[in-house]
Chains A and B, each alone.
Chain A
Amino acid sequence: MISRLHIAYEDLFRKKTRTVLTLIGIILSSWVLVSLLGFNKGFELALNRDIDNMGYQVMVMAKGCPYEAATMMLQGGRGLRYIEQSMVENISKEPEVEAITPILMQAFFDPNKGESGGIAGYYGVQAKSYPGMKPFLKFKSGGWFHEDDAPQVVMGFEAAELEQREVGDMILVPEKNVELKVVGILERTGSQDDGTIFVPLKTLQKIAGTDKITTIGIKIKKGADMAALEEKLYKLPNMQVVSFTQVKQTIMKLISTARVMVLSIAFIAIIIAMVGVANTILMSVIERKQEIGILKMMGALPGDIFRLVWTETLILCAGGSAIGIVLALLFARVTDLVVRQILPYVPNGGLVSIDVVLALETFGVIVAVGLLSGLFPAWKAGRVRPLQTVKSE
């Protein structure tokens, strides 16, 4: 026995070109929608991961234009604003603080990098406090340095690969010609740590000729009032406070503006696709008026005709949506690369996260909206008057 699904399928593909074009519209709108929703989810997950990988939730640094500081550091390691290390002790007394770590970022000019020289950056960290901030870091070989004045370094995975270093090898700090021994190489983390060269704090201070630091990382106790701590930190003279919650909110706020615009475009694409569906089915109904009339004369009820036409809509939307989702999954990496080219900052890791729930939700939305758009043609088909249509033949 021929099923309703089979008849609907056969009817749809009588006009192959028209059906395929409609299907392409649905595929594209489904692809765009699921990719956007996946980006929405993936971006936030990746941003959270980046922030968690920092190991601390609040950063304190000297007040001053950060843009200028970043630029100057990248251009030659000079002009950075420093803070007294005694500040670490003062802040650590606050009840909200679980752990605290001083950091010194320093850059030196290397004349033998490229045609006109380049910058080599180093990250001075305290042996006793910094590893505790990042317990998730694993070593490919070796381990952390134990003394703050040891002439040693720990290298991120990519830094070690670029410098072709193994545990036991030496590196030379340019400009200062100080030799440091590699004692540990980290496993790949997919974060900024991969490209970092960690140096014991006092060693880097000695090399740079300073007893100060550039940054303080603060880990807050669970359940502690972060806002209260931030308020206290804001009162410190000439200090700037950066909370990663604030950073996250700001980035998400900026992204959300773009997101609303793009989602609106996706919404319009869905509407256009669904108008296409309604048009295709309606045309099909008009072309088959006589057939529908004969079916009715043979005893088919309006409900039967309605269901038959609605099934055609269902096939179009379900098929198009499924193909669109599969394409979005297959090309998620390409979407990722495109987004990375467009946005000035993107977190590490995958940006488009499409899981089963999201795929099913998108499928459901497309099919539901599609079925809605198929209501009118199906109703129209159900109302065809058999005698009138046969006479018109």
Chain B
Amino acid sequence: MKKYFKVITIFLFFFGLPEAFAAIGCDLNDPVRDVARLFPGSSGYKMRYASITELGGEPLLKKIKERLGGNSKVLFAPIDVPYTIYEVYNGSTKLGYIHGVNQKGQYGGTQVFIIQNLNGTIRNFYIQKISGPAAAKFRSPAFGIQFIGMSVKDFGGMDASTCKGKGRITKVVNPAPEAEADFMGIMRGLKKNLILMDEFVFSAGAKK
């Protein structure tokens, strides 16, 4: 039996190891702990999946791309990617949502999560994964606090290519000017995240 265990373990090691970095999509690494931390006052959550294919197919994809500014690089995901939406509750009362997207950064994928109230405003912000020397600066609370209170309207006028726009987003300070690509990636990720949530949850007719 010991021999079997040994052989199977080696097998699992070589076949299972890549699983450590094989997952696609943007889920919270530890939802129980993360939801409680990101949404103080919550008692639990429900997960649901939304994909552009299921919720509208090509016409919805076209609409999302148009809202993103027609820049297909911003979406950078197949149409059938399942987006995980965490519906956060306190008892049976729904408090809001948590949703993450993958976005291209300078040295790897950046996972940008927004924590939204029921009206769609950002109440918290979390970068689960980011690569590069400036990663810690972008993950610091001081950077994330700048987005609290913003909504999809604030990003509506932002050009996804240049990340320039009007209103509140002009006041967002890049904590690492040497990592402009990462900063722009985060801004694009935020815009994408807000637009996707608007289409999946907040728009009239979307499942709330």
B103 x A164 contact (CB < 8 A): yes
How many angstroms from the CA of A154 to the CA of B28 in the assembled complex? 27
Return chain A residues, CB-CB under 8 Å to B13: 66, 69-70
Return chain B residues, CB-CB under 8 Å to A177: 133
A105 within 8 A of B: yes
Min CB–CB distance A142 → chain B (angstroms): 17
Return chain B residues, CB-CB under 8 Å to A73: 17
Given known A-B contacts A164-B104, A247-B11, A197 and B30 have beta carbons under 8 A apart: no
Given known A-B contacts A69-B13, A247-B7, A159 and B22 have beta carbons under 8 A apart: yes
Nearest A residue to B77, CB-CB: A161
How many angstroms from the CA of A105 to the CA of B108 in the assembled complex? 20
B142 within 8 A of A: no
- A interface residues, tally (CB under 8 Å): 53
How many angstroms from the CA of A278 to the CA of B105 in the assembled complex? 69
Contact among A54, A67, A121, A253 for B17, CB-based, below 8 A = A121
Return chain A residues, CB-CB under 8 Å to B129: 112-114, 118
Nearest A residue to B127, CB-CB: A112
Interface positions of A from 109 to 152, Cβ below 8 Å from B? 110-115, 118-121
Min CB–CB distance A191 → chain B (angstroms): 8
**Interface membership of chain A positions 151-188, coded 1 if the CB is closer than 8 angstroms to chain B and 0 otherwise:** 00000101101111100001110100101000000000
How many angstroms from the CA of A321 to the CA of B91 in the assembled complex? 47
A309 within 8 A of B: no
Interface positions of B from 60 to 82, Cβ below 8 Å from A? 76-77
A170 x B34 contact (CB < 8 A): no
**Interface membership of chain A positions 346-374, coded 1 if the CB is closer than 8 angstroms to chain B and 0 otherwise:** 01000000000000000000000000000
A59 within 8 A of B: yes
B18 x A121 contact (CB < 8 A): yes
B128 within 8 A of A: yes
B107 within 8 A of A: yes
A196 within 8 A of B: yes
Return chain B residues, CB-CB under 8 Å to A246: 7
Interface positions of B from 14 to 65, Cβ below 8 Å from A? 14-24, 29-30, 33-34, 37
How many angstroms from the CA of A199 to the CA of B153 in the assembled complex? 43
Min CB–CB distance B194 → chain A (angstroms): 19
Contact among B9, B18, B24, B104 for A67, CB-based, below 8 A = B9
How many angstroms from the CA of A65 to the CA of B87 in the assembled complex? 43
A250 within 8 A of B: yes
Given known A-B contacts A70-B12, A195-B22, A250 and B33 have beta carbons under 8 A apart: no
How many angstroms from the CA of A251 to the CA of B5 in the assembled complex? 10
Min CB–CB distance B123 → chain A (angstroms): 18
Min CB–CB distance B11 → chain A (angstroms): 5
A112 x B130 contact (CB < 8 A): yes
Interface positions of B from 92 to 147, Cβ below 8 Å from A? 102-110, 128-133, 135-136, 139
Return chain B residues, CB-CB under 8 Å to A208: none
Return chain A residues, CB-CB under 8 Å to B8: 247, 250-251, 254, 345
A70 x B22 contact (CB < 8 A): no
Min CB–CB distance A73 → chain B (angstroms): 8
A242 x B135 contact (CB < 8 A): no
B7 x A115 contact (CB < 8 A): no
B4 x A192 contact (CB < 8 A): no
B10 within 8 A of A: yes
**Interface membership of chain A positions 205-222, coded 1 if the CB is closer than 8 angstroms to chain B and 0 otherwise:** 000000000010000000
How many angstroms from the CA of A214 to the CA of B72 in the assembled complex? 41
Nearest B residue to A110, CB-CB: B131
Interface positions of A from 59 to 85, Cβ below 8 Å from B? 59, 61, 66-67, 69-70, 73-74
Nearest B residue to A165, CB-CB: B108
Return chain A residues, CB-CB under 8 Å to B130: 112
B18 x A66 contact (CB < 8 A): no
B171 within 8 A of A: no
A96 within 8 A of B: no
Contact among B4, B14, B128, B131 for A59, CB-based, below 8 A = B14
Nearest B residue to A180, CB-CB: B107
A344 within 8 A of B: yes
A50 x B76 contact (CB < 8 A): no
Return chain B residues, CB-CB under 8 Å to A158: 22-24
Given known A-B contacts A70-B12, A115-B29, A242-B10, A171 and B131 have beta carbons under 8 A apart: yes
How many angstroms from the CA of A196 to the CA of B22 in the assembled complex? 7
**Interface membership of chain A positions 83-105, coded 1 if the CB is closer than 8 angstroms to chain B and 0 otherwise:** 00000000000000000000001
A312 within 8 A of B: no
Min CB–CB distance A45 → chain B (angstroms): 16
Residue among A120, A179, A195 with most chain B CB within 10 A = A195
B21 x A120 contact (CB < 8 A): yes
B6 within 8 A of A: yes
How many angstroms from the CA of A242 to the CA of B7 in the assembled complex? 7
A50 x B30 contact (CB < 8 A): no
B136 x A112 contact (CB < 8 A): yes
Give the interface of B toward A (CB within 8 A): 3-24, 29-30, 33-34, 37, 76-77, 102-110, 128-133, 135-136, 139
Provide a sorted-by-A list of 11 A–B residue pairs whose CB atoms are within 8 angstroms: A70-B12, A70-B17, A115-B29, A121-B20, A161-B102, A170-B106, A195-B19, A195-B21, A195-B23, A240-B10, A254-B8
Give the interface of A toward B (CB within 8 A): 50, 54, 59, 61, 66-67, 69-70, 73-74, 105, 110-115, 118-121, 156, 158-159, 161-165, 170-172, 174, 177, 179, 192-197, 215, 240, 242, 246-247, 250-251, 253-254, 344-345, 347
